[in-house]
């Protein structure tokens, strides 16, 4: 017995309702995920963006005889509690370098301390009411202002909040990543090439494959312990150095690079290999001249993503001593250094209010770098994507 259209649509109605419901649920969960992301970014931006500005005070600096030994003497005594200690500290040094300045005076914008900075930004601070009132007057007179915070990008860590910057961490990260890439990229790519193009398919290589996949899932702090035991204790690599950190992170990045390289190699169609073998290429020529160039975009994408992962890693670096107070920009691969996530971690433990925005500011810098790296990976993939 056949059914009429009406009967069929009656039955279909229920099915359509069900699929519509599923569609709304899935859209809802996507929306929720998006909302969390927006909230996260809004929070970070609202907390972190003020860190890129810093309070400065215009004041008359009188380079007196006394200021040669005591920088405080150069400033208006009423203003002194509002001015950063770092601005005071440099006065005797300046005078020692330029003795001709003694006896002169000069109006200058000097760094205010973090309490002033926080007050101007409307955050919690420890200024007394009189100090606040005096500050308000000066703001109206245009003698106190928020300006671009070049210290944040131009100097290393400091216990004085207004003097703390992220540069030493950025340099440390760059050096660590150079070590990581220099070690894990060649080893990872060649391992993958061997496993994918040369190795026979037997129990042994299958066991290696399984282990590499498991390696990618090992908690990163264990790599830190391995780095401490092998690189630092056994091979004597200097502790806290980008070399030690980079080697440790290289261990962590290796499986990511191996897996993504193997995927990229596997996506090169066999017809290309056959064509190359057919004209008499040796196995290595097939790989070098035909397979690797085609797999390169995929390999690069995977490596960049692995590198970005390593860049955000903190746990293993705690173990090798890179989470430390490093005020100076690192000079070499064996000097003590810190990295961005470790710097963020250090700042997040500081009690002063001013470090809250430093923490958020550091997160913004790290996120910007990570997002640009990932975007670069996407662009690379799109640009070199080929059809066969």
- Interface ranges with another protein (CB under 8 A): 200-201, 269, 271-282, 285, 289-290, 294, 386-388
Q: Between residues 93 and 275, which has the closer beta carbon with respect to another protein?
A: 275
Task: Output the DSSP codes for 137-164.
Answer: HHHHTT-EEEEE-HHHHHS---SSGGG-
Closer residue to another protein, CB minimum distance, 272 or 370? 272
What is the CB-side half-sphere exposure of residue 174 using CA atoms within 13 A? 10
Return the DSSP state at 4: P
CB 312 within 8 A of CB 216: no
Shortest CB 203 distance to another protein, Å: 13
What's the closest the beta carbon of residue 377 comes to another protein, in angstroms? 21
| Comparison of 99 and 280: residue with beta carbon closer to another protein | 280
Cα separation, 355 vs 358, whole angstroms: 5
Q: What stretch of H or E contains 249?
A: helix 242-266
CB atoms within 10 A of CB 100: 8
Shortest spacing between CB 284 and another protein, in angstroms: 11
Closer residue to another protein, CB minimum distance, 213 or 282: 282
CB atoms within 10 A of CB 71: 22
Kindly state the smallest distance separating residue 275's Cβ from another protein, in Å.
Answer: 5
Q: For the CA atoms of 266, 272, 276, 279, what is the dihedral angle to 10 degrees?
A: 150
Residue 273 CB, nearest approach to another protein (Å)? 8
Of residues 124 and 386, the one with the C-beta less far from another protein:
386
d(CA 304, CA 299): 9
Q: Which is nearer to another protein, 205 or 334 (CB)?
A: 205
Shortest distance, position 318 Cβ to another protein, whole Å:
46
């Amino acid at each position: 017995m056949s059914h009429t259209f009406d009967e069929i649509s009656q039955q279909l109605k229920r099915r359509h309702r069900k699929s519509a419901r599923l569609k709304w649920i899935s859209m809802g969960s996507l929306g929720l995920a998006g909302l969390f992301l927006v909230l996260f970014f809004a929070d970070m931006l609202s907390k972190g963006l003020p860190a890129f500005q810093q309070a400065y005070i215009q004041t008359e600096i009188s380079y007196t005889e006394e200021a040669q030994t005591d920088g405080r003497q150069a400033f208006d005594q009423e203003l002194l509690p509002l001015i950063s200690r770092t601005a005071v500290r440099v006065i005797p040094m300046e005078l020692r370098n330029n003795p001709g300045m003694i006896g002169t005076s000069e109006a200058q914008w000097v760094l205010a301390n973090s309490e002033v900075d926080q007050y101007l930004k409307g955050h919690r601070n420890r200024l007394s009411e009189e100090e606040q009132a005096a500050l308000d007057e000066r703001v109206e007179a245009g003698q106190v202002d928020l300006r671009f915070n070049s210290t944040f990008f131009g100097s290393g860590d400091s216990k004085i909040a207004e003097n703390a910057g992220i540069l030493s961490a950025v340099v440390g990260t760059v050096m660590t990543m150079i070590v990581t890439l220099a070690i894990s990229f060649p080893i990872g790519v060649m391992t993958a090439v061997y496993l994918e193009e040369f190795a026979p398919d037997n129990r042994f290589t299958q066991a290696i494959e399984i282990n590499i996949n498991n390696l990618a899932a090992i908690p990163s702090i264990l790599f830190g312990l391995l780095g401490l035991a092998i690189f630092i204790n056994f091979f004597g690599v200097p502790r806290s150095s980008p070399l030690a950190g980079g080697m440790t992170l290289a261990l962590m990045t290796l499986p990511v690079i191996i897996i993504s390289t193997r995927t990229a190699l596997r996506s090169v169609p066999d017809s290309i290999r056959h064509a190359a073998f057919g004209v008499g290429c040796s196995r290595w020529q097939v790989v070098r001249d035909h397979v690797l160039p085609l797999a390169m975009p995929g390999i690069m994408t995977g490596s960049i993503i692995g590198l970005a992962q390593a860049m955000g890693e903190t746990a293993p670096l705690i173990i090798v001593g890179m989470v430390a107070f490093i005020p100076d920009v690192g000079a070499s691969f064996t000097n003590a250094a810190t990295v961005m996530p470790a710097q963020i971690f250090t700042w997040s433990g500081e009690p002063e209010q001013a470090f809250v925005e430093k923490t958020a500011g550091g997160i913004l810098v790290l996120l910007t770098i990570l997002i640009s790296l990932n975007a670069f990976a996407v662009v690379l993939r799109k640009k070199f994507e080929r059809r066969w």
